[in-house]
Each structure stands twice: as C-alpha cells, then as structure tokens.
A and B are shown apart, each in its own frame.
Chain A
Amino acid sequence: MMSFFLSITPWPVLSALLWIVLAVATLYFARPTSHRLIKAASNSLYKVFRAASLAVTKAENGLATRNREVLLAAGREAKERIVEREFDRINETVRKDLANYSSLHRGLSESIDRIEKDHQDAVDVPPDPPGWVKAVEAVAKIESRDGRVGVSNILSDIHKSLVQAHKEAMLAYREASKERHTLLRKMRPEWRRIQQILGKVGKNVDSLLGRSVTIDRHMQEYEDIVKGEDHAVSILSSSSLVYFFVSALVLVVAIGGAVINFSLIARPMAEMVGGTNLIGGFRTADIAALVIIMVEISMGLFLMESLRITRLFPVIGALPDKTRVRMIWITFTILFLLASVEAGLAYMRELLLHDELATSALLRGDLDIATTSGSMWITTAAQMGMGFILPFALTFVAIPLETFVHSMRTVIGLLAIGTLRVLSLIFRLVGSTCRYLGVLITQLYDLPLFIPLWWAAREKDVSDGGGLQELRS
C-alpha cells in the first residue's frame, strides 16, 4: 500500500510531497465544514452528558428528600416511643408510689395527731401553790392578846404538814415527769416515721422531676425533628449509621450462635430423616436442622412482637391485649418445646458419637477404648444445656434485627445518594471532557495546515492593510 503511494512518480520523495500537498489542500478546503462538525459533535456530547448529570442530580435530590423524610419519620417514631416510655414510667411511679397518697396523708395526719396529743399530755404541770401561805396569814391574824402560846404548836403542825405536802408534791411531780418522758419517748418513732415518709415522697418527687427534665429534652428533640431541622437530621443520620454497624455486629454474633446450634442438631437429625437423602442438592438432615432453627427464630420474633419489645409486624402489635397475651403463651410454648427437642437431639448427638467411637474401636480391634469415661456426662450435660438455651438466646435476635432493618433503609439511602452524586460528577466530567476534546481536535486539525493558514492570515493582513491605506488616503 505504502509502495503504491510512493510510486506515483519515479521519485518516492516527490510522491510523498505530492501526497502531502494534496492532503493539506483537501484538509484546508474541508476545514470550515470539519470544524463545524467537530464542534457540533462535541457540543452534542457535552449537552447529552450535562442533561444526564442534571437528571442524576435531580434523582439524587429526590432521593435525599425521600431519605430525609424517612429519617425524620423514623426519628419521630423513635422519639414518640421514648417519650411514651417515659410517660409510662411516670405513670408507673405515680401509680405505684403516689396512688396511695391518701393513705400516706392519713398516716401522716394520724402521726401528727398522736404527736400533738402526746405533746399536750406532756405539758409541764406547775406544782400546787404551797399551802403554808394561808397558814402564815392565819398565824399573822392572831391577836397579841390572844397570846402566842399556841403559835409554836401551830407552826410545828404547819411545818409537818408542809413537809408532808412537799413530799407528796414532789412525788406527784416525779410521777408526772416520768409520764411526760414516756410520752416523749413514744413520740420518737412517730417522728422517724414521718421523716421516712417525707424522704420517700421527696425521692419520688425528685424522680418525677428528673423524668420531667428528660421528657423536656426529648420533647425538644422531637420538636426539632417535626420542624425538620438540619441538625436533627444530622444527628439521626449519624445515629442510624452507628445503629446499623452495632446491630450488624450483634447479628454476626447471633449467626455464630445459630451455626453452633446447627452443628448440635444436624448430626442427630440424620437419625430421624436419614443421612443420605437430598433435597435440591442439600442433605435433608441439614435442611431439617436449619428449618428447626428458622422456626425458633420466627417464634422468637413473634414472641418479641407480642411482648411489644419490637415492632416489625404492626398487625401483631395492634392485636387486642387478650389475643396478644394468648399469642405470647403460644409462641413461648412452641419455643419451649423446640428447645426441649434440641436438648434431646444434643443428647442424641452424644450417643451417636459414643456409638461411632465404639464401632471404630471395634473395627480397629481396640476394645479398651470402647469403655466410656466417667466424666463424659459433663459434655453431655453441656451440650444439652446449650441445645436448650440457644433457642431462647436466639429469641433476642429480634431486637438487633429490627434496628438493622430500620437503619438499613437510611444506610442504603445514603449509599444510593453517594453513588448518584459520583455518577453525576462523572457525567459532568465526561461532558466537559467532550467539549474540550472538540476544541483540542479542532486545534490538532489546524496543526498540519499551518502553512496555508499562515498564508491566508498574511493575505488577510495585506488586504486589511491596503484597505486602511485606501481609507487614510
């Protein structure tokens, strides 16, 4: 081919030069059309990618709005649950501690009455005025003429009666004091009781005040969510991510538990359904074991729903209380039975292992090893215990599962937004690249045409210069 091009004249260099001149001339004459074509193509591509980028950005915005709504709705629901729970707690506190406020009040009044009565009884009774004052007055009224012979006797009598009276008065006073002290001593437990009651009431009131502060805080956050404020969305978004990863971690742990559970019951299942039968390429025994575990997890989910701990199935949560309680018992009974079956299968597994060991020992001709160790019951009991406990432990998978499902919506939304954003950026970049590529191709097109272009520019300058000279002249 090359030889053909170079052989149009006897001199290859001349042939090449001729071809170059021909090509440059062709390119030069086709230049305006080619430039328009390149520009049109690059602009078209730019517009197409720009439109695609705008469409993706629009979709991203729509998704972001939708995600925001979902996030706010989820946050609102969560806050409502928290506030509801706080009110439940307040209600419980009020019902439990303050419902018997009337009896408390009555008790307090009774205690106060008793104290008042005791206090009145304990008032210090003043001793009787001494009787000798009147006697002295009587002695003083005796006339001198009457003599004062009998005065000495009288005074002696008075003295005696005074001493007697004093003794009686002191005795009475002591008795009264003793009684007062007894009464005062009786008041002490009443005071303590009042103090305790008041302390308890104070604690309850403090607890209520604390709860009210918490509710105020939650209500403030709830208001922010309802208003759709950005910082509320930001908090909810970061919380969702945290919940997502934490619940994913717990679910991984739960899957580990389920795998252990599976290994406990898959082997003895072969005894029930056969060890070689296959369903869809999988061992029937494995499928049966898996089905049992799945049923247990389902029962756990229903139990948690019935207890209103999770809210994955609104139908269950909306059931009448009587039906719900009935459902709790039914699911718990099924779970209990399945756990018992698992414990039995775990025991069966141990028996199978012993049987296989004994057979292997027999086939090896090693008869001594066939005798079982006395401490083997520990592993048997441990396996049975695990078989019984794991189904109940798996019940709690419902809680992280619910969190995982709810937070996954947000996480998927965030991922989709990120993807759309990157896609939009790529479209924009590609569009701009196409546009500037068009400019570059135009410039590259002109590169081999530099001689005719230079010539054309020179001619134009000359013609423009001539025109100017004509104008000047």
Chain B
Amino acid sequence: MKSLSIVFACLLIVSCSQSRPGNIGVYMLVDTSGTYSEEIQKAQQIIRYTLSRLDAKDTFAVARIDTASFSEKDIVAKITLDDRPTTMNRQKRLFADQVQVFVDQSPSSAYTDITGGLLQAVEYLNEKQPAKKTVFIFSDLKEDLEDGYIREIDFDLDGFEIVALNVTKLRTDNVDPREYLTRLDEWQNKVESSGGRWRVINDLDGLERLL
C-alpha cells in the first residue's frame, strides 16, 4: 500500500504539466520618425516572417518609436500564442491585420526615442518571462530626443539579445561615414556593457538568421 502511494505520488509529480521551457519573447521597435517611416513596408515583412516562425507560448509585441516611447500606448500589437494550433493561427492572422492597419496609417513622429522604447521592451519581456528574450530595433539608430526627456539610464540587459535591423545610412553618414560607425559602436557598447548581446542585420534577404 505504501509503495502504491509512492508510485501514485511520483505520477502526480511527473504529471504536473509544465509549459515548453524554450519559448521565445520578441519585442520589435519600429522607427516611425522622419524619412525612416518610408521603410515601414520592410518592417511589415519582418513582422510577418517573425510571426511565421513563432510557436505556441511564444510572445511577440510590435511597438512604434516616437517622441516618447517608454509607454504601453506605443505598443501596436501584442500576443502570447496559445498552445492550441487553431487558436494560435487565428491569433497570428489577427496580429497581421493589426499590423496592416498600423502600416496603412503609417504615423510619423517628430522625435526618436529609441532608449525609451528599449526600456519598454525590457520591461515587457521581463514581465512575460520567456526563456529567450529578443528585441528587434528597426531603425537607423539615430536617437533624437525632445528637450526635457532624460534617457541616461543604466539597462539590465542580461539574457537579452538586441538585433538592429535595417540600419540605414543617413545623408550625413554618407558625408562622414565615421558618424555611422560611431553610432553603431555606441549602441553596441551600450548593450554589451549592460549584459546583452548585440547583432546588426542589414541584409533583409537573410532573415533566416533572425531567430
């Protein structure tokens, strides 16, 4: 009887359902400032690709980078995929529709608060607690803060991977390429000194490396 109860207890312990431990959390920041808003079609392409790669229990959010990006209001669409396949597909289609609406409206902002958006992404993903946290920054990485906004904040990016996508060269970068390189280096230092990993993908034909 005792051994039977032990076996039953073991079965109960084993049968405690756990979620898949390898779920992914992706937060994508889309720059909507100035001329970069013209690139939004490419952002939509990346969003769709990412959606197709995500599986059950994965989290995905798309947010815009505007004047003040450290806000939930800037989140365009967000989902945590259900573990039932039909529901998951429905969620993906709904998400794609929401992004389509965002792309159609293509709002433009005067300033570019990338740091605020990154802070929001870190907060969101930490709250969701996925096994792998990835932040896509679809921007030229040129931060332009409005007066009064303070963004000299230390990040805790331990366990995060920050991927800069489609970092376009500005007109001034063409005049002095050091500006572009310095910009990239600054962001890389910022991320790596905070414990995160940094990658840049400019060739959008090679999206297989994205996730």
Contact = CB atoms under 8 A, between A and B. Distances in A.
Contacts of A363: 48-49, 51-52, 92, 96
Interface stretch (A31-39, A114-122, A353-361): A353-361
B96 A355 contact: no
**For chain A, what secondary structure do more than half of its interface residues adopt (helix, strand, loop), or is it mixed?**
helix
A67 B55 CA distance: 56
Interface string B48-90: 1101100111000000000000000000000000011110110
Nearest to A354: B89
B105 interface: no
A363 B92 CA distance: 8
B150 interface: no
B182 interface: no
A359 B20 contact: no
Interface of A: 267, 270-271, 274-280, 284, 351-352, 355-356, 358-360, 362-365
A359 B53 CA distance: 12
Given A270-B83, A352-B85, A355-B86, A277 B52 contact: no
A271 B56 CA distance: 11
Nearest to B20: A276
Interface stretch (B1-9, B11-19, B191-199): B11-19
Nearest to B88: A275
B17 A284 contact: yes
A93 B51 CA distance: 71
Contacts of A358: 89
Interface residues of B, number: 23
A294 to B, nearest CB: 16
A289 B56 CA distance: 19
A360 B96 CA distance: 11
Given A360-B52, A362-B96, A363-B96, A276 B89 contact: no
B93 interface: yes
Contacts of B51: 363
B166 interface: no
B23 interface: yes
A276 B23 contact: yes
A277 B19 contact: yes
Given A276-B23, A359-B92, A364 B48 contact: yes
Contacts of B55: 275-276
A38 to B, nearest CB: 55
22 contacts: A270-B83, A271-B85, A274-B17, A274-B56, A275-B83, A276-B19, A276-B20, A276-B55, A276-B56, A277-B17, A277-B18, A277-B19, A278-B17, A279-B15, A351-B86, A359-B52, A359-B93, A360-B52, A362-B93, A362-B96, A363-B51, A364-B48
